[in-house]
Amino acid sequence: MSLVAEGLACGRGGHALAADIAIALAPGQGLLLRGPNGAGKSTLLLTLAGLLPPLAGSIRYAGHDAEAGPALHYCGHRNGVRARLGVAQTLDFWAGLNGRTGLSIAAALEEVGLAGAAGLDAGYLSAGQQRRLALARLLVTRRPLWLLDEPSAALDTAGQALLARLLADHLARNGLAVIATHDAIAVPDLSVLTLGEAA
Ligand SMILES: Nc1ncnc2c1ncn2[C@@H]1O[C@H](COP(=O)(O)OP(=O)(O)OP(=O)(O)O)[C@@H](O)[C@H]1O
């Protein structure tokens, strides 16, 4: 699959935060969104996800087989974790909702370093562990495009290395990714789009 956005403007309440955006991502390519607080990075991700309408321009996802399911994962600031639901149950819920097209629940928890916490209520996880659980959702359902908003928030050094590895593996499988972040992401050859100063 490839992603092409042309002449794209995005904003809130009809007020444009970023305009004239051009994005072209081929299979295996990733894009970092940079820019100060309020520049519109989250707004652009929501627009690419189809959760906000573009104010101008077009977004095309070419070469995706709709019968294979939705093209993208949107992973926002919130982890989507319910305190009283177990860790494995949480992931099982998401896999049931989104499709069991990736790793098993056990394998995904192992991958993100949460195998030992599988039976705990998710509310007992630390902030970084909850973020790891949110990232595990990307693994139990395979989708070609990952839209990630501050994915490294609360992750320790090992968690950031894990995130980089998951991203590199995803891109190596011809996936695509757009990542809004203030942090360094140790994945080679990511392109960068910097949005302007906050109003
Ligand atoms: N529902 C809304 N109505 C009006 N303005 C909004 C709404 N939601 C967000 N905004 C404004 O849009 C601007 C862009 O917000 P956005 O979250 O896209 O920025 P960001 O670049 O992701 O910032 P950060 O680096 O802090 O995450 C902010 O000034 C914010 O206050």
pLDDT in tens, 122-141: 999 999 999 999 999 999 99
* Closest residue by CA, ligand 1 atom 10: 12
Number of domains in the chain: 2
Compute the distance between CA of residue 178 and CA of residue 73 in angstroms, rounded to an integer. 10
Condensed to tens digits (0 to 9), the pLDDT of residues 62-107 reads 898 888 789 999 999 888 889 999 999 999 999 999 999 999 999 9
Q: Is 47 in the pocket of ligand 1 (CB under 6 A)?
A: no
Distance CA 39, CA 130 (A): 26
- pLDDT score recorded for residue 71: 93
Q: Are residues 61 and 154 in the same domain?
A: yes
Q: Is the CB of 40 under 6 A from ligand 1?
A: yes
Centre of ligand 1 from the C-alpha of residue 11, in Å: 8
Query: Does residue 19 share a domain with residue 43?
Result: yes
Residue to probe by mutation, ligand 1, list 42, 47, 77, most atoms within 8 Å of CB: 42
Nearest to 166 by CA among 129, 190, 136, 194: 136
Task: Specify the residue with its C-alpha closest to ligand 1, atom 5.
Answer: 12
Of 79, 189, 67, 55, the C-alpha closest to 137 is 79
Last residue of a domain, one of 137, 166, 185: 137
Helices 87-98 and 127-140 meet at what angle, rounded to 10?
30
49 with 91, same domain? no
Q: Which atom of ligand 1 is nearest to the CA of 150?
A: 27
Domain encompassing residue 178: 1-71+143-199
Pair 98, 153 in one domain: no
Query: Is residue 84 within 8 Å of residue 116, measured between CB atoms?
Result: no
106 phi/psi in degrees, rounded to 5: -60, -45
**Nearest by Cα to 76 from 30, 131, 17, 140:** 131
Note whether residue 76 is domain-resident.
no
